[in-house]
Structure 1
Amino acid sequence: MNTMIFDRKTLDEKQFWMDLLADGPIFCAPKADSPVFVEKDAVPPCMTFTLDQELTEQIKKIAQGPFLCGTVLLSALMVCLHKHNHLPTITIGTPTRKPATPTNDNMLAIRHEINETESFRDFLLKLREKLLNCYAHQNYPQYKLIEDLNLETDRLFDVSFAYDEIHSSFTHPDQSALSLKVEEGENTTLIATFFYDDTLYRPETVQLLARYYQHILAQALSDPMQSIDTLALDTQENIWAQTEVWNKTAHDFPDDINVMELLTNIAQTYPQNPALIYRKTSISYEEMMQQVDTIAAHLQENAVGPEQLVGVCLENPFQSILAFLGILRSGAAFLPLDPNYPDERLSYMITDSACTLVIGDDAIGKRMADHDLPILFMNTLCTPQPKPQPQYKHSKQPCLCDLHIRFNRQTKRGVAGTSRAL
């Protein structure tokens, strides 16, 4: 509900924020760890670290005052999130600037575009100007701005920042996945604290982000004239070490067991562990295997079994994985069909692979209406059924899927995927 405003200053403040945030919310928090299953605490967990004396002295030397010092600290956080998330525009919430009235607990959405070709110094000065303008319009309430912008969400940012020398009282907002608070410590040191939502992040993730933040600060202050694109999140040594560790993904795979047997063993060992997660939906191994068995039973009722190929054309990746596993459970192999492909391409793949049938949704049913091929819908396949017949005993290296690859405009070829390859 819009309220008429007769006060000129309030109207100017409203217009300032409407212009700045006209594109709606831009969320900048790092991608959540997947999954982190803990109950959210009333008091958010935090990780505190002290900026070393040399870094603190560099900040205060270039800043020469609390406001610019806070701007330096905020600019490093913006660059860090820009580098980490590959976002050209960053929005971070801050409290109002001191002095503020005791009742003014407003939070401001500071939005700034980052140009990688400009120097850190130029970026810093532009951000300083942006902050001065924002704090000059800091009294317009955030809740009213959300109403004015007609947003579907109740938040304007998911990362917040505060420096106790310039900002009014600060507590980690509920709407923030991550907050950075910096305050003066003993012997003029700067003490930084990351508050975080532990349903999204593990402590080691926040610890790594703190290291990135300090590295960005150290690089930027060592030469403020260097362009932002030359700043790196971490040292080359650390990046190389992490890459080496992450790339060591080789694991022994037993030759005498297939994918479905492997999943069944895992489900029996860890029945309540999360097996599939998509957006806000999660199911355990036990629930997943129950749905897989149901799909397999329906397929066997439709005479699907060994040496047959079943197409899967679904928008929902969650359902696609359940369909793939249900097909394997029935003893058949699956053919992934991308619903974004044109009808001609889908028709060719289905005909060339000699599919027995296709699992799809209502949309694919309409597109394939001219085909004689049976189409089974996922809502039907998920209807409870008696358990499927004992799974066909695959050979050590069966064909579990058919991947159609286009090598050029004329050549289209199906490639068989084995249990070991999957």
Structure 2
Amino acid sequence: MSIALHWAASHTTVATDPKTTFRSASDLQADVGATITEDGIGAARALALFDEVLLPATRSVEDPMNLAYIPAAPTRAAVAFDTVVSAANVFGGVWEFGAGAIFAENQVLRWLSDLLGWPEESAGVFVAGGTHGNLSALAAARDHALRVRGRRPAGGWALACASTAHSSISSAARLLDMDLVSVPVDDRGHLTGEALERALTSDPRICAVVASAGTTNAGIVDDLASVVEVAHRHGAWVHVDGAYGGAALVAPSARERFTGIELADSFVVDPHKWLFAPYDCCALLYRDPRPAAAAHSQHAAYLDSIDRGESNPADLAAHLSRRARGLPLWYSLATHGTAAYTAAVEACLDTARTVARAVAGTEHLQLLVEPELSVVLFRRPGWSPAAYRRWSQRLAREGTVLCVPTAVDGEIALRLAFVNPSTNPQAVIDVLRTTMLTADGS
């Protein structure tokens, strides 16, 4: 399909359109009509519908002024190589079929393990996203607890985390039939060993603790050193969710915040968030991969010939079939070098600090907390929830900036997430200072 390949090649250099946005299903149905038909509609028509109707009905996650949720800004090299990965159609589940691709992925995982300060025997796998990675890590933790303790405790297993943990943690607890024990954070929003000590002492069912290395809403890094020390003293597995913030491990200016992570048991980071890879890509790592392999390895007559002495990604997460989704990141790192990644992440951190200082110095704005990573939280005093929504929706329609309301301590606020080194901090400051003067957000 040369026209599809030509579109893919040309699109890697096309500028983003900040005005693209979602549309209703009924509107799309009216413009697209039936596409899955007995005789087909032809490649040219299908691509035209995608290019002219379907793609414009999505939000540009890589636009420099998309600062909502946790967007993405993949390198052009990574985007281009994602097409190569699809064309190669490698089965990346076991070494026998995907040795070369898995070898390259493992070089990236080794780089990440070195950033964590983990030993040579550590290992990992690329999965679809942080939710998948967190679930797989906690399944390994629960299985390991059963093997160590010998039996399931009365009342079942439990895991502990802060109330600020990502929503995927509570989802994983439900799927794994584990009770969720919410541990209060300190006055700065961190999970600490002191608070965790009380939870672990009162509830011996807790076999796993989840700490955040950059909460999604506020970019907070928990007190990892004290959390790991207390959890391990009570025999609990420590999983660090760094889906967003773990990328800051490459930045010397932020590295001190992660002290203690070198002793954690498992870790995830989503390269599609802040390591400049395309969707979907999560790196899941284990300090000691043996408990993960014991939990996840699949055995069947047709699988018995697999060489278990080699690196088989299927053994380390809840999956069997997988594409080699770590290869676009590998290609981008090999192309640009790790120093470029350090510079790009540092640029985002500097942007957040610059914007935060400007917000703090602007009379009609209120900075809520000094940013620890690249998330800036602030308020416009005097605005109602409706005013926040009007402002957000108007600027989104105009293509000026994408910034959506969130909640902080139960009150509405605004949140800027900087993960694109191309974002101009002064452009963001100018928008905030000039568009938030009116009392009603219009």
TM norm structure 1: 0.22
Higher strand share: 1
For the pair shown, the structure with the greater C-alpha radius of gyration is 1
Structure with the higher fraction of residues in helix conformation: 2
